[in-house]
Amino acid sequence: MTTETATPTQADASTAFLRAARAGQIEKIISLLEQGVDINVSNANGLNAIHLASKDGHVEVVRELLDRGAAIDAATKKGNTALHIASLAGQEAVVKLLVQNSAQVNIQSQNGFTPLYMAAQENHDGVVKFLLANGANQSLATEDGFTPLAVAMQQGHEKVVAVLLEADTRGRVRLPALHIAAKKDDVKAANLLLENEHNPDVTSKSGFTPLHIAAHYGNEAVARLLLAKGADVNCAAKHNICPLHVAAKWGKENMVSLLCDNGANVEARTRDGLTPLHCAARSGHERVVEVLLDRGAPITSKSKNGLAPLHMAAQGDHAEAARVLLSRRAPVDDVTVDYLTALHVAAHCGHAKVAKLLLDRNADANARALNGFTPLHIACKKNRIKVVELLLKYGASIQATTESGLTPLHVAAFMGCMNIVIYLLQHEANPDVPTVRGETPLHLAARANQTDIIRILLRNGAAVEAKARERQTPLHIASRLGNVDIAVLLLQHGADVRAMTADHYNPLHIAAKQHNHDVAAALIEHNAPLTATTKKGFTALHLAAKYGNLKVANLLLAHGASPDQAGKNGMTPLHIAAQYDQQAVATTLLEKGADAKAVAKNGHTPLHIAARKNQMETAATLLEYGALTNAESKAGFTPLHLAAQQGHTEMCSLLLEHGAEVDQQSKNGLAALHLAAQEDRVPVAQLLVKNGAEVDIGTKGGYTPLHIASHYGQANMVRFLLESGASVKAQTTHGYTALHHAAQQGHINIVNILLEHKSDANATTTNGQTPLDIASKLGYVTVMETLKEVSEPSIAPVSQEKYKVVAPETMLETFMSDSEEEGGEDTILNDQPYRYLTADDMKSLGDDSLPIDVTKDERTESAMSHKNIMELSQGSVNGMPYQPQQEVVVKSISRYSTAQAPEGYCYNVDPTQPKM
């Protein structure tokens, strides 16, 4: 800064420098600076070069000064910086440059003015937006208490007012200016905005109008202004929510009255059919409930799912609101579309106070929902002990059953509600009541792994041997689920370890299948029979072999289970292990003495099965333990036949390496090459021929592999056999050549291949028919035309008899199927017919995947529609007994918890506020 003692020369240079800055003369400025002028020199008012350049918008001068070290926040005698001056002058480009160079955006002058205040005062809305975006605080006031918003409103700067209001919102969502004015109840700002052609019904991104916002906060003054300016009192915004719904939800009694006085429709419905009375009742605003009823709101109005205001009050535990509704003659037992009463809802939520109020008003304690669930069932499911006590005191039936036969004790036992189970038993609940499927509470407790509940039930006389419809006991269930503690507990109380289901499955069979070693061990300790068989004659060891349960298999063998006990079809556990390629189990069985040569009723050994299924490791192990490579089935087929037919080249190679006879024939004369030819297994055929297979070997009927390949239209195989020297002249016992069969089957491509290899088109069968005769009788036009060109006229008399198609021999074997080898096992172990807690079944006891009091956050902000929520509420938990389709009580409860959510009581019209 220039001092009083500056020489005349210095003063002249400084003056020239400041004038150049004001005029934007950048070259002169640079020249004077190079002559030694102080870059921060100022005039009598404290204005320096950067102040003067900023005022007149000389961006390049300001940039040059900043680059040369000018003090960016240097202040005038009134405390104004370059940013103050540029903001006041509306020099947006200079403002941006200064801020980018770290000028203080919230610096205050001597009277408390900020750059934002100055820009707002002069209506520079672009500068205001930029400063706000870069951290300007519009709450900073002058010494006189004026904010930027106040001065903008005083000056009538509508654009700046809008910018400031829209920026004055917290959170991620920005609201329009008029909405902010409504939120703040700022009548002056709202009036200014409305005078400048603002639409009073402008909507926010979430679809709400300023009147919705005013209703939310109970801002009566701004609401009156909006209404006076023509705001639609019944404007249906997002999900058909009206301002009256909002005021009712938030308990703004003054707003409810004001809106009603101005024509608000008290029967207005949201998308899901909720009225303002529903919203007020759910939120517990009894005074608003009274006001709405006084204004004619229908007390029995129903949502789309049949929910009345009384249901809403019950759900929210609002006894006073419920009392008001009841005093105005709301039907105490009014039901939803699924026949849920308010008492059902109170029971579900555990609202004992509301439940008592309803019962005192003679609510039916035994009301049945569409699925037969009573409030007591619901209270048991949700572990609402106080409600249970209350319901029983008021006469609820302890033995009431649902459509599927569930008693309250069934429900409590499954859900593990110990206090309720004890309480019900103390009040003489019968622990042995069966459902329509014969399941007692003990069955359900076992299915839900409720050990303590089982102990209580057994101590109170529950029948440990209770049998469901398929004769399944609780011990069967524990064995399937692998709960050794429950299994031992049941055994200690006398459970029969030999008990059989309808398909003769005992607990050990089930444990063996399910990999439940510890349960199996406990059963064996209690003398479970190792030789017991299912209806199909299978032991526990068979099942362990099928499912590869090595630990269980070892356990059974260690306790003396026979490795060679055969089922009714003659299959041993080793056959089963081979069928399913359970290599480890197969090895264990062989080590424990299992017979690798064991023969099933169809004559198959384990090696037959492994060969057909291409179980390489199992086959190799069997061969190591002495399996017979050339063992024949009852029809005379060896493992090589089966592997060849399936095209298992590596398996065939393994068998041949271990001495398999390449031309061994079955009882009908089929060799492995015949079967490979039938199925077009060229790589296998190549392997067999390489290992010496006779290419023209004939069956009992004289069929060679070429006959068979030609009959089945296997062109690649025909070519290979011909290349390998197969005779085209070979005839069956009835005189058929390969060409006869190709013609009979209409395989024109095979006919051409055979003719190319000089097959005799005039050869005749034993009854004198040529290939052309056969093709003619069967109507194969293309084949006929081809053969006519190479055939001599037939001298045989034309027969009028219908041609009888001939076919070569084929494999007729009975193979073990996945369903046959174990019979009815799947009916027990794969939940058929024992289906527990399917998606539909869970409707009976409810789905806790969604809480009863779902909030707006969980419903609307997840973008999940009411339909989506309903789909989710129908099946997230498994393990409960089968229930009919009608068992939908908690589906219904989910409905009333979601119905009001998207547009009823659980919403905020102000997205800047926390969700309720």
pLDDT per residue as tens digits for the range 528-584: 999 999 988 899 999 999 999 999 999 999 999 999 999 888 999 999 999 999 999
- Tokens representing residue 216 in the block: 């939310």
Q: Determine how many CB atoms are found less than 10 A away from the CB of residue 357.
A: 22
So what's the pLDDT on residue 792? Answer: 85
Q: What is the pLDDT of residue 904?
A: 33
Backbone phi and psi for residue 881, each to the nearest 5 degrees, phi listed first: -65, 160
Stretch 498-514: mean pLDDT: 95
| Least reliable range by pLDDT among 193-207, 237-251, 257-271 | 193-207
- Burial class, 220, CB count within 10 angstroms (exposed 0-12 / middle 13-18 / buried 19+): middle
What pLDDT, on the 0 to 100 scale, is given for residue 398?
97
Confidence of residue 170 (pLDDT cuts 50, 70, 90): low
Are 652 and 644 in contact, with CB atoms under 8 Å apart?
yes
Enumerate residues 6+ apart whose C-beta is below 8 A from 515. Answer: 482, 547, 549, 551, 552
Whether 664 contacts 640, CB under 8 Å = yes
Q: What is the DSSP string of 441-497?
A: HHHHHHHTT-HHHHHHHHHTT--TT---TT---HHHHHHHHT-HHHHHHHHHTT--T
Paired residues of 881 in beta bridges: 836
Contacts of 73 (CB under 8 A, 6+ apart): 81, 82, 83, 103, 104, 107
Q: Between 153 and 380, name the one with better pLDDT.
A: 380
Residue 146 has what pLDDT?
Answer: 72
Q: Is 466 a residue whose pLDDT tops 80?
A: yes
Supply 122's token pair.
Answer: 């002069």
Alpha-carbon distance 731 to 729, whole Å? 6
Q: What is the mean pLDDT of residues 120-131?
A: 88
DSSP secondary structure letter of residue 844: G
How confident is the model at residue 593, as a pLDDT?
A: 95
| Average pLDDT rounded to a whole number, residues 851-858 | 27
- Answer yes or no: is pLDDT of 883 > 50: no
| Strand-pair partners of 42 | 48
Judge contact between 20 and 1, C-beta under 8 A: no
Q: Of 881, 869, 907, 774, which Cα lies nearest the Cα of 305? A: 869
DSSP string, 713-750: T-HHHHHHHHHTT--TT---TT---HHHHHHHHT-HHH
Q: Give the burial string for 187-213 (b: 16+ CB within 10 Å, else e).
A: bebbbbbbeeebebbebbebebbbbbb
Of how many residues is the chain composed?
916
Q: Residue 742 carries which side chain, given as an amino acid letter? A: A
Most confident of 192-201, 209-218, 647-656, 892-901: 647-656
Query: What sign for the dihedral angle of Cα 191, 195, 196, 199?
Result: positive
pLDDT score for 796 = 56
Residue 379's pLDDT band (cuts 50, 70, 90) = very high
Residue 296 burial (CB count, 10 A): 9
CB atoms within 10 A of CB 526: 19
Pick the residue with more confidence: 912 or 684? 684
DSSP symbols for 605-633: -HHHHHHHHT-HHHHHHHHHTT--TT---
Residue 644: the pLDDT is: 98
pLDDT of residue 192: 78
Number of Cβ within 10 Å of residue 661's Cβ equals: 15
> Tens of pLDDT along 407-456?
999 999 999 999 999 999 999 999 999 999 999 999 999 999 999 999 99
Alpha helices (runs of H) in 738-860, residue ranges in sequence order: 738-745, 748-756, 771-778, 781-788, 825-829, 856-859
Hey, is 514 helix, strand or coil? coil
Is the pLDDT confidence value at 820 over 60? no
- Is the predicted pLDDT of residue 149 greater than 80, yes or no? no
Question: Can you say how many angstroms the Cα of residue 779 is from the centroid of all Cα atoms in its chain?
Answer: 58
Distance CA 894, CA 783 (A): 71
> How many Å apart are CA 716 and CA 195, to the nearest integer?
90
Is 636-812 assigned to CATH 1.10.3720.10? no
287-293 contacts at long range (C-beta below 8 A, 24 or more positions apart): 287/251, 287/253, 288/247, 288/248, 288/251, 288/252, 288/253, 288/256, 289/321, 289/324, 289/325, 290/324, 291/253, 291/256, 291/257, 291/260, 292/248, 292/256, 292/260, 292/266, 293/324, 293/328
- The pLDDT value recorded for residue 197 is 62
Average pLDDT of the chain is 86
Structure tokens at 254: 């003054």
Report the C-alpha dihedral over residues 256, 258, 263, 266, rounded to 10 degrees.
10
- Give the whole-angstrom CA distance, residue 711 versus residue 744: 8
The 3-state DSSP class for residue 440 equals coil
pLDDT of 912 higher than 80: no
Q: What are the tokens at 848?
A: 């806790």
- Inform me whether the pLDDT recorded for 889 exceeds 60: no
Residue with tokens 């491509």: 749
Q: How far is 700 from 521, CA to CA, in rounded Å?
A: 55
According to the model, what pLDDT value does residue 834 have? Answer: 28
* Amino acid at site 364: D
* CA atoms of 274 and 272, how far apart (whole Å): 6
Residue 532 half-sphere exposure toward CB, CA atoms < 13 A: 20
Q: What is the mean pLDDT of residues 73-93?
A: 91
